[in-house]
Structure 1
């Protein structure tokens, strides 16, 4: 049901658009509550703040929250129609799907690797991996929100020169 809010461009009638928009917003509320429960669980855990797994969990929560907020923005059918074929939707998809999936795979490996293999990984290298990954993720995908809000279409081979610096920054 949530995916339908990205399909407002297919010519749904107004009643159907309002229904799917409302359902998407209603689903967004428990998801926001879920983020607070993750934070509460993290506060009650007996883990140390300098533990790389905790860094990745906090990074996942931040990336998931950014993706969730942009999802609520896109759940309004009129805004989704305006931003449908822009880089805003691409940034939203990457924050929710790609970055969330990548973070959970890394968290799983960090958690289970020492248990399965019997060797611990270097804490400082893992922290460096987190820093480089978070900077790289946000340098690549965060500017896409602004590109989309300015109307930069996706799937084009030549860009307006006004978008050059943001596109270059995002492509580093």
Structure 2
């Protein structure tokens, strides 16, 4: 992906095909596509490695990266398909499905881990409370955006109809709560 930044992708750094008006792109797009497929293959192999080798280790689950990384993946996949022709939509839908496969494997590994452990109310459980908070903030921030997408509102427009202002307020509230939890975790980890 770094190479495509210097060579220029032609579709923007977000890799939205709807931002481009060209039909033929430079080499940057090809490098970006290759890196996308390599990243997805590494996710699949990593999820398989966790399923095969970890065997439901609670420490591995406790320190996993599931709390914050799913937000960006879900948010970036929601708004990509407005205003595309059928060829591009088919390709990017297939790539989205390829991204969803490793996520499903991760969920399967987490559920299999949860069925093989006994959970007590010790310190590690209380340390996982920010995971619950971030899930609530994620829903507050992004579910109204999903509704915007279902109403076929383009994501690049910053001014909406006045009837959607309350949803924008809910999104902003979720964003601020997420930032507060992040600051709290930084302070808490700094004190520890």
Q: TM-score, normalised by structure 1?
A: 0.49
- Structure having greater relative contact order (Cα 8 Å, sep ≥ 6): 1
Structure of larger gyration radius: 2
Question: When you count helix as a share of all residues, which structure comes out higher?
Answer: 1
